[in-house]
Amino acid sequence: MAIHSGHPSTSPEQSAGNVELNGASLVLSGDWTLTYYTALSRLVQTVQEKDLANVSLDVSQLTRVDTAGASLLVKLMGGPALVEALNNSEIANEQQALITAVASAMKNEVFQPPRVNPVLGFLADIGQKVTAVAQLLWLLAGFIGETLSTLFYILPRPSRWRFTSFVAAVHDTGLNALPIVALLTFLVGSVVAFLGATVLQDFGATIYTVNLVAFSFLREFGVLLAAILLAGRTASSFTAHIGAMKVNEELDAIRTLGLNPVELLVVPRVLAMMVSLPVLTFVGMISGMIGGAVVCAITLEIPPSQFMAIIERDIGLTHFLVGIGKAPVFAFLIAVIGCLEGFKVSGSAQSVGEHTTSSVVQSIFMVILLDSIAALFFMEMGW
Protein backbone atom coordinates (compact mmCIF):
# COMPACT_ATOMS: atom_id res chain seq x y z
CA MET A 1 0.00 0.00 0.00
CA ALA A 2 1.60 3.24 -1.09
CA ILE A 3 0.55 6.58 0.34
CA HIS A 4 1.84 9.52 -1.64
CA SER A 5 2.10 13.11 -0.56
CA GLY A 6 0.46 14.29 -3.75
CA HIS A 7 2.96 17.16 -4.36
CA PRO A 8 4.48 17.27 -7.84
CA SER A 9 8.22 16.90 -8.26
CA THR A 10 10.20 20.01 -9.10
CA SER A 11 12.86 18.19 -11.17
CA PRO A 12 13.72 14.68 -12.31
CA GLU A 13 16.24 14.37 -9.47
CA GLN A 14 13.69 15.34 -6.82
CA SER A 15 10.58 13.45 -5.80
CA ALA A 16 8.09 14.20 -3.05
CA GLY A 17 8.36 11.90 -0.06
CA ASN A 18 6.01 8.97 0.30
CA VAL A 19 5.28 6.08 2.64
CA GLU A 20 4.75 2.48 1.57
CA LEU A 21 3.48 -0.15 3.98
CA ASN A 22 4.83 -3.53 2.83
CA GLY A 23 3.63 -6.15 5.28
CA ALA A 24 5.38 -5.43 8.57
CA SER A 25 7.74 -2.82 7.10
CA LEU A 26 7.07 0.90 6.74
CA VAL A 27 9.25 2.17 3.88
CA LEU A 28 10.07 5.91 3.73
CA SER A 29 11.42 7.29 0.48
CA GLY A 30 11.81 10.45 -1.56
CA ASP A 31 12.53 14.01 -0.43
CA TRP A 32 11.35 15.07 3.02
CA THR A 33 12.07 18.78 2.75
CA LEU A 34 10.39 22.10 3.46
CA THR A 35 9.22 22.26 -0.17
CA TYR A 36 6.77 19.43 0.48
CA TYR A 37 6.06 20.17 4.13
CA THR A 38 2.30 20.79 3.80
CA ALA A 39 1.65 17.64 1.78
CA LEU A 40 3.99 15.57 3.96
CA SER A 41 2.27 16.80 7.12
CA ARG A 42 -1.09 15.55 5.82
CA LEU A 43 0.62 12.30 4.82
CA VAL A 44 1.97 11.80 8.35
CA GLN A 45 -1.48 12.39 9.85
CA THR A 46 -2.99 9.83 7.47
CA VAL A 47 -0.38 7.20 8.31
CA GLN A 48 -0.71 7.78 12.06
CA GLU A 49 -4.38 6.83 11.86
CA LYS A 50 -3.37 3.31 10.81
CA ASP A 51 -2.29 0.49 13.10
CA LEU A 52 1.53 0.65 13.14
CA ALA A 53 2.11 -1.72 16.04
CA ASN A 54 5.01 -4.13 15.44
CA VAL A 55 5.93 -2.33 12.20
CA SER A 56 9.62 -1.94 11.37
CA LEU A 57 10.96 1.24 9.80
CA ASP A 58 13.00 1.32 6.57
CA VAL A 59 14.67 4.68 5.77
CA SER A 60 17.20 3.40 3.23
CA GLN A 61 15.31 5.00 0.32
CA LEU A 62 15.28 8.53 1.71
CA THR A 63 17.03 10.92 -0.70
CA ARG A 64 17.02 14.41 0.83
CA VAL A 65 15.99 15.43 4.35
CA ASP A 66 16.10 18.84 6.02
CA THR A 67 15.08 19.89 9.53
CA ALA A 68 11.42 20.29 8.54
CA GLY A 69 11.27 16.81 7.05
CA ALA A 70 13.22 15.33 9.96
CA SER A 71 10.70 16.76 12.44
CA LEU A 72 7.91 15.06 10.52
CA LEU A 73 9.81 11.77 10.56
CA VAL A 74 10.13 12.04 14.34
CA LYS A 75 6.41 12.76 14.66
CA LEU A 76 5.66 9.76 12.47
CA MET A 77 7.53 7.04 14.36
CA GLY A 78 9.13 8.71 17.38
CA GLY A 79 12.80 9.53 18.01
CA PRO A 80 14.11 6.17 19.35
CA ALA A 81 12.58 4.10 16.54
CA LEU A 82 13.88 6.55 13.96
CA VAL A 83 17.44 6.55 15.34
CA GLU A 84 17.45 2.75 15.46
CA ALA A 85 16.35 2.61 11.84
CA LEU A 86 19.10 5.07 10.90
CA ASN A 87 21.73 2.87 12.52
CA ASN A 88 20.61 -0.04 10.35
CA SER A 89 20.62 1.95 7.11
CA GLU A 90 23.27 3.14 4.68
CA ILE A 91 22.08 6.70 3.99
CA ALA A 92 24.59 9.55 3.91
CA ASN A 93 26.32 10.44 7.17
CA GLU A 94 25.24 14.07 7.01
CA GLN A 95 21.61 13.00 6.64
CA GLN A 96 21.97 10.67 9.63
CA ALA A 97 23.57 13.42 11.71
CA LEU A 98 20.81 15.87 10.87
CA ILE A 99 17.98 13.46 11.65
CA THR A 100 19.69 12.33 14.86
CA ALA A 101 20.11 15.94 15.99
CA VAL A 102 16.45 16.72 15.32
CA ALA A 103 15.38 13.52 17.08
CA SER A 104 17.50 14.46 20.08
CA ALA A 105 15.99 17.94 20.18
CA MET A 106 12.50 16.42 20.01
CA LYS A 107 13.19 13.62 22.51
CA ASN A 108 10.08 14.55 24.46
CA GLU A 109 7.93 13.83 21.42
CA VAL A 110 6.03 10.58 21.94
CA PHE A 111 4.70 8.50 19.06
CA GLN A 112 0.98 8.46 19.62
CA PRO A 113 -1.83 8.29 17.11
CA PRO A 114 -3.94 11.46 17.16
CA ARG A 115 -7.13 11.29 19.12
CA VAL A 116 -10.21 12.01 17.07
CA ASN A 117 -13.17 13.57 18.80
CA PRO A 118 -16.07 11.17 18.09
CA VAL A 119 -18.52 14.07 17.73
CA LEU A 120 -16.26 15.84 15.25
CA GLY A 121 -15.69 12.56 13.43
CA PHE A 122 -19.44 11.98 13.19
CA LEU A 123 -20.01 15.50 11.90
CA ALA A 124 -17.14 15.09 9.43
CA ASP A 125 -18.71 11.89 8.09
CA ILE A 126 -22.05 13.64 7.67
CA GLY A 127 -20.34 16.53 5.91
CA GLN A 128 -18.59 14.16 3.51
CA LYS A 129 -21.84 12.40 2.67
CA VAL A 130 -23.68 15.70 2.13
CA THR A 131 -20.84 16.90 -0.10
CA ALA A 132 -20.97 13.66 -2.08
CA VAL A 133 -24.74 14.02 -2.58
CA ALA A 134 -24.33 17.67 -3.64
CA GLN A 135 -21.63 16.71 -6.14
CA LEU A 136 -23.83 13.93 -7.47
CA LEU A 137 -26.79 16.28 -7.95
CA TRP A 138 -24.53 18.86 -9.60
CA LEU A 139 -23.17 16.25 -12.01
CA LEU A 140 -26.67 14.94 -12.72
CA ALA A 141 -27.94 18.46 -13.46
CA GLY A 142 -25.04 19.06 -15.85
CA PHE A 143 -25.65 15.76 -17.65
CA ILE A 144 -29.37 16.51 -17.94
CA GLY A 145 -28.47 19.87 -19.49
CA GLU A 146 -26.09 18.23 -21.94
CA THR A 147 -28.71 15.64 -22.90
CA LEU A 148 -31.40 18.28 -23.46
CA SER A 149 -29.07 20.51 -25.48
CA THR A 150 -28.10 17.56 -27.69
CA LEU A 151 -31.75 16.59 -28.08
CA PHE A 152 -32.82 20.09 -29.11
CA TYR A 153 -29.89 20.26 -31.51
CA ILE A 154 -30.80 17.10 -33.42
CA LEU A 155 -34.61 17.50 -33.40
CA PRO A 156 -34.69 19.96 -36.33
CA ARG A 157 -32.13 17.81 -38.21
CA PRO A 158 -33.86 14.55 -39.24
CA SER A 159 -30.67 13.31 -40.90
CA ARG A 160 -29.14 12.91 -37.43
CA TRP A 161 -32.07 10.90 -36.02
CA ARG A 162 -31.13 7.32 -35.17
CA PHE A 163 -34.29 5.33 -35.78
CA THR A 164 -32.62 1.92 -35.52
CA SER A 165 -31.23 2.61 -32.04
CA PHE A 166 -34.53 4.14 -30.97
CA VAL A 167 -36.64 1.19 -32.14
CA ALA A 168 -34.22 -1.31 -30.59
CA ALA A 169 -34.36 0.57 -27.28
CA VAL A 170 -38.18 0.69 -27.38
CA HIS A 171 -38.27 -3.05 -27.99
CA ASP A 172 -35.89 -3.70 -25.10
CA THR A 173 -37.36 -1.26 -22.56
CA GLY A 174 -41.02 -1.54 -23.50
CA LEU A 175 -42.07 -4.72 -25.27
CA ASN A 176 -39.76 -7.05 -23.34
CA ALA A 177 -40.83 -5.51 -20.01
CA LEU A 178 -44.55 -5.76 -20.76
CA PRO A 179 -45.19 -9.27 -19.33
CA ILE A 180 -43.45 -8.69 -16.00
CA VAL A 181 -45.15 -5.31 -15.51
CA ALA A 182 -48.57 -6.76 -16.27
CA LEU A 183 -48.03 -9.74 -13.97
CA LEU A 184 -46.69 -7.70 -11.07
CA THR A 185 -49.41 -5.06 -11.19
CA PHE A 186 -52.07 -7.79 -11.48
CA LEU A 187 -50.79 -9.43 -8.31
CA VAL A 188 -50.46 -6.14 -6.43
CA GLY A 189 -53.97 -5.17 -7.50
CA SER A 190 -55.27 -8.46 -6.12
CA VAL A 191 -53.47 -7.89 -2.82
CA VAL A 192 -54.74 -4.30 -2.50
CA ALA A 193 -58.31 -5.43 -3.16
CA PHE A 194 -58.05 -8.27 -0.67
CA LEU A 195 -56.63 -6.04 2.06
CA GLY A 196 -59.16 -3.31 1.33
CA ALA A 197 -62.02 -5.77 1.52
CA THR A 198 -60.72 -7.18 4.80
CA VAL A 199 -60.48 -3.77 6.46
CA LEU A 200 -63.66 -2.25 5.00
CA GLN A 201 -65.72 -5.31 5.90
CA ASP A 202 -65.65 -4.24 9.56
CA PHE A 203 -67.39 -0.99 8.56
CA GLY A 204 -69.87 -2.53 6.13
CA ALA A 205 -68.28 -0.59 3.26
CA THR A 206 -66.75 -3.35 1.15
CA ILE A 207 -68.24 -1.75 -1.98
CA TYR A 208 -65.60 0.98 -1.66
CA THR A 209 -62.90 -1.57 -2.36
CA VAL A 210 -63.53 -0.79 -6.02
CA ASN A 211 -62.80 2.90 -5.43
CA LEU A 212 -59.66 2.03 -3.44
CA VAL A 213 -58.22 -0.17 -6.19
CA ALA A 214 -59.05 2.22 -9.03
CA PHE A 215 -57.91 5.33 -7.18
CA SER A 216 -54.60 3.81 -6.05
CA PHE A 217 -53.63 2.33 -9.40
CA LEU A 218 -54.67 5.27 -11.53
CA ARG A 219 -52.81 7.82 -9.41
CA GLU A 220 -49.88 5.97 -7.84
CA PHE A 221 -49.34 2.24 -8.15
CA GLY A 222 -49.55 1.98 -11.94
CA VAL A 223 -46.79 4.47 -12.67
CA LEU A 224 -44.77 3.75 -9.51
CA LEU A 225 -44.53 -0.02 -9.99
CA ALA A 226 -43.72 0.33 -13.68
CA ALA A 227 -41.06 2.96 -12.97
CA ILE A 228 -39.43 0.89 -10.20
CA LEU A 229 -39.37 -2.17 -12.45
CA LEU A 230 -37.73 -0.20 -15.24
CA ALA A 231 -35.29 1.34 -12.79
CA GLY A 232 -34.14 -2.11 -11.75
CA ARG A 233 -34.35 -3.71 -15.17
CA THR A 234 -33.47 -1.01 -17.71
CA ALA A 235 -31.35 1.55 -15.85
CA SER A 236 -28.97 -1.22 -14.84
CA SER A 237 -28.87 -2.41 -18.45
CA PHE A 238 -27.99 1.09 -19.69
CA THR A 239 -25.21 1.41 -17.11
CA ALA A 240 -23.73 -2.00 -17.82
CA HIS A 241 -23.84 -1.47 -21.58
CA ILE A 242 -22.22 1.97 -21.60
CA GLY A 243 -19.83 0.97 -18.81
CA ALA A 244 -18.64 -2.06 -20.78
CA MET A 245 -18.11 0.17 -23.81
CA LYS A 246 -15.98 2.50 -21.70
CA VAL A 247 -13.95 -0.40 -20.31
CA ASN A 248 -13.32 -1.62 -23.86
CA GLU A 249 -12.42 1.94 -24.94
CA GLU A 250 -15.27 2.01 -27.44
CA LEU A 251 -16.33 5.46 -26.22
CA ASP A 252 -12.86 6.77 -27.06
CA ALA A 253 -13.19 5.23 -30.50
CA ILE A 254 -16.56 6.94 -30.97
CA ARG A 255 -15.05 10.32 -30.07
CA THR A 256 -12.08 9.64 -32.36
CA LEU A 257 -14.51 9.14 -35.26
CA GLY A 258 -15.94 12.59 -34.56
CA LEU A 259 -19.22 11.28 -33.13
CA ASN A 260 -20.97 12.49 -29.98
CA PRO A 261 -21.52 9.65 -27.46
CA VAL A 262 -24.49 11.50 -25.95
CA GLU A 263 -26.17 11.77 -29.32
CA LEU A 264 -25.31 8.20 -30.24
CA LEU A 265 -26.00 6.37 -26.97
CA VAL A 266 -28.03 8.56 -24.59
CA VAL A 267 -30.67 10.37 -26.66
CA PRO A 268 -32.17 7.23 -28.30
CA ARG A 269 -32.39 5.51 -24.92
CA VAL A 270 -33.98 8.53 -23.24
CA LEU A 271 -36.59 8.93 -25.97
CA ALA A 272 -37.32 5.20 -25.94
CA MET A 273 -37.89 5.25 -22.19
CA MET A 274 -40.19 8.27 -22.50
CA VAL A 275 -42.27 6.30 -24.99
CA SER A 276 -42.18 2.95 -23.20
CA LEU A 277 -42.96 3.98 -19.62
CA PRO A 278 -46.32 5.70 -20.36
CA VAL A 279 -47.39 2.57 -22.26
CA LEU A 280 -46.25 0.32 -19.42
CA THR A 281 -47.98 2.61 -16.93
CA PHE A 282 -51.27 2.27 -18.82
CA VAL A 283 -50.86 -1.50 -18.94
CA GLY A 284 -50.05 -1.50 -15.21
CA MET A 285 -53.18 0.50 -14.42
CA ILE A 286 -55.39 -1.85 -16.40
CA SER A 287 -53.74 -5.00 -15.02
CA GLY A 288 -53.97 -3.75 -11.45
CA MET A 289 -57.67 -2.99 -11.78
CA ILE A 290 -58.24 -6.37 -13.43
CA GLY A 291 -56.55 -8.04 -10.46
CA GLY A 292 -58.77 -6.05 -8.11
CA ALA A 293 -61.86 -6.93 -10.16
CA VAL A 294 -61.02 -10.65 -9.95
CA VAL A 295 -60.74 -10.48 -6.16
CA CYS A 296 -63.92 -8.44 -5.89
CA ALA A 297 -65.79 -10.93 -8.07
CA ILE A 298 -64.56 -13.94 -6.07
CA THR A 299 -64.55 -12.55 -2.53
CA LEU A 300 -67.13 -9.74 -2.51
CA GLU A 301 -69.44 -11.06 -5.26
CA ILE A 302 -69.12 -7.78 -7.17
CA PRO A 303 -69.46 -8.68 -10.87
CA PRO A 304 -67.14 -7.03 -13.43
CA SER A 305 -70.04 -5.05 -14.87
CA GLN A 306 -70.77 -3.45 -11.50
CA PHE A 307 -67.03 -2.94 -10.95
CA MET A 308 -66.78 -0.96 -14.21
CA ALA A 309 -69.97 0.95 -13.49
CA ILE A 310 -68.60 2.14 -10.13
CA ILE A 311 -65.33 3.23 -11.75
CA GLU A 312 -67.20 5.11 -14.49
CA ARG A 313 -69.43 6.83 -11.93
CA ASP A 314 -66.98 7.69 -9.13
CA ILE A 315 -63.46 7.87 -10.61
CA GLY A 316 -62.75 10.99 -12.63
CA LEU A 317 -60.43 11.34 -15.60
CA THR A 318 -58.16 13.60 -13.52
CA HIS A 319 -56.79 10.62 -11.59
CA PHE A 320 -55.73 8.90 -14.80
CA LEU A 321 -54.11 12.07 -16.14
CA VAL A 322 -52.19 12.60 -12.90
CA GLY A 323 -50.77 9.08 -13.05
CA ILE A 324 -49.93 9.01 -16.74
CA GLY A 325 -48.46 12.54 -16.61
CA LYS A 326 -45.75 11.46 -14.19
CA ALA A 327 -44.55 8.65 -16.45
CA PRO A 328 -42.45 10.71 -18.94
CA VAL A 329 -40.71 12.56 -16.10
CA PHE A 330 -39.83 9.34 -14.32
CA ALA A 331 -38.70 7.77 -17.60
CA PHE A 332 -36.40 10.70 -18.38
CA LEU A 333 -34.76 10.58 -14.96
CA ILE A 334 -34.30 6.79 -14.98
CA ALA A 335 -32.71 6.83 -18.43
CA VAL A 336 -30.43 9.79 -17.67
CA ILE A 337 -29.23 8.32 -14.36
CA GLY A 338 -28.57 4.94 -15.97
CA CYS A 339 -26.55 6.48 -18.81
CA LEU A 340 -24.66 8.85 -16.50
CA GLU A 341 -23.53 6.02 -14.23
CA GLY A 342 -22.31 4.17 -17.31
CA PHE A 343 -20.13 7.12 -18.31
CA LYS A 344 -18.74 7.27 -14.75
CA VAL A 345 -17.30 3.74 -14.93
CA SER A 346 -13.56 3.96 -14.32
CA GLY A 347 -12.36 1.01 -16.39
CA SER A 348 -12.68 -2.25 -14.46
CA ALA A 349 -15.28 -4.97 -14.02
CA GLN A 350 -15.66 -4.02 -10.36
CA SER A 351 -16.43 -0.43 -11.32
CA VAL A 352 -19.10 -1.63 -13.75
CA GLY A 353 -20.79 -3.59 -10.97
CA GLU A 354 -20.58 -0.71 -8.48
CA HIS A 355 -22.04 1.86 -10.86
CA THR A 356 -24.75 -0.56 -12.02
CA THR A 357 -25.85 -0.94 -8.40
CA SER A 358 -25.61 2.81 -7.90
CA SER A 359 -27.80 3.53 -10.94
CA VAL A 360 -30.57 1.23 -9.66
CA VAL A 361 -30.48 2.74 -6.17
CA GLN A 362 -30.42 6.33 -7.43
CA SER A 363 -33.20 5.72 -9.95
CA ILE A 364 -35.55 4.13 -7.43
CA PHE A 365 -34.76 6.82 -4.86
CA MET A 366 -35.42 9.66 -7.31
CA VAL A 367 -38.66 8.04 -8.54
CA ILE A 368 -40.04 7.66 -5.00
CA LEU A 369 -38.85 11.14 -3.99
CA LEU A 370 -40.46 12.84 -6.98
CA ASP A 371 -43.62 10.78 -6.59
CA SER A 372 -43.92 11.92 -2.97
CA ILE A 373 -43.42 15.56 -3.94
CA ALA A 374 -45.94 15.21 -6.77
CA ALA A 375 -48.50 13.59 -4.45
CA LEU A 376 -48.24 16.49 -1.99
CA PHE A 377 -48.44 19.05 -4.80
CA PHE A 378 -51.49 17.49 -6.44
CA MET A 379 -53.21 17.14 -3.08
CA GLU A 380 -52.69 20.82 -2.31
CA MET A 381 -53.90 21.76 -5.79
CA GLY A 382 -56.99 19.60 -5.36
CA TRP A 383 -56.30 17.55 -8.47
| Residue-range domain boundaries for the chain | 2-105, 142-381
Taking the complete model, does pTM exceed 0.75, yes or no?
Answer: no
* H-run or E-run covering 230: helix 222-230
The predicted structure's pLDDT at residue 336: 94
Q: What is the mean pLDDT of each run of 10 residues along the chain (383 residues)?
A: 44 60 72 78 74 69 77 74 70 74 67 67 88 90 92 87 88 89 93 89 84 90 92 90 87 87 90 92 93 89 88 87 92 93 84 88 92 88 79
Those residues with Cβ within 8 angstroms of residue 82's Cβ, 6 or more apart along the chain or in another chain:
57, 59, 73, 74, 76, 99, 103
Neighbours of 307 (CB within 10 A): 23
CB 114 within 8 Å of CB 144: no
- Tell me how far apart the 2 most distant CA atoms of the chain are, in Å: 100
Cβ density class 181-196: b for 16+ within 10 Å, e for less: bbebbbebbbebbbeb
Q: Which of 229, 217, 233, 219 is nearest to 325 (CA)?
A: 219
Read out DSSP for 339-382?
HHHHHT--SSHHHHHHHHHHHHHHHHHHHHHHHHHHHHHHHHHT
The predicted structure's pLDDT at residue 223: 92
Those residues with Cβ within 8 angstroms of residue 57's Cβ, 6 or more apart along the chain or in another chain:
25, 26, 28, 77, 81, 82, 84, 85
The predicted structure's pLDDT at residue 227: 93
Read out DSSP for 21-39?
EETTEEEEEEEESGGGHHH
DSSP-based three-state secondary structure for 59: strand
The predicted structure's pLDDT at residue 12: 39
CATH 3.30.40 corresponds to the domain 2-105: no
Neighbours of 68 (CB within 10 A): 16
The predicted structure's pLDDT at residue 186: 94
Q: Which of 357, 83, 371, 364 is nearest to 239 (CA)?
A: 357
DSSP-based three-state secondary structure for 1: coil
Phi-psi region of 217 (alpha: psi -120 to 50; beta: other; left: phi over 0): alpha
